[in-house]
Amino acid sequence: MKRFIPFLPKPALVPVIRLGGTIGAGLRSLNDEGLAPLIDRAFKAINSPGGSAVQSSLIAARIRRLAEEKQVPVHAFVEDVAASGGYWLACAADDIWVDQSSIVGSIGVIFASFGFPELMARQGVERRVVTAGKSKSLADPFLPQKGEDVARLKALQAPIHQAFIDHV
């Protein structure tokens, strides 16, 4: 497309990257190398309660890499919520803007499941599981919770929690 007045400076392209919902894999807008040379600064609009710690870390690292490669500032705008992984993404910005009623924060790692062993027994349902290797039925909702399983999950969560604290 030709510009109507070619001697005027081109306006800066300022992309707004919308990061909403539960954080997971597949954020394609950060991989569009065609836009990268045109970017003067970047804005992130965040509305997320969190999600995958790994994906939060990867997306935040990608945002910082692009900002450093292109030497552009990144601004985060929190809409309703930037909690947990959403907060992790917000902290990848150079500054964070929030509304007075935005919810921001919540540093932690959670693993949640259900337990149905009594229901299974009452219904006369027998669960059959064949595994090879130790701890393959970790947090199985159809078996009683084991102390060693809880300890293992907490041990897995601890370094993720510390990485989160270090990031923010």
Q: Are 116 and 99 in contact (CB under 8 A)?
A: no
Predicted pLDDT at 36 = 56
Domain carrying residue 166: 108-168
Across the chain, mean pLDDT equals: 80
Indicate the DSSP class of residue 10: P
**Same domain for 101 and 18:** yes
How many Cβ atoms are within 10 Å of 84's Cβ, its own excluded?
22
Q: Can you tell me the mean pLDDT for 117-144?
A: 80
- pLDDT tier for residue 94 given thresholds of 50, 70 and 90: very high
**Same domain for 138 and 122:** yes
Predicted pLDDT at 13 = 65
Q: Can you tell me the mean pLDDT for 13-42?
A: 65
Closest by Cα among 67, 120, 123, 74 to 97: 74
> Is pLDDT at 49 greater than 90 in this prediction?
no
**Same domain for 34 and 87:** yes
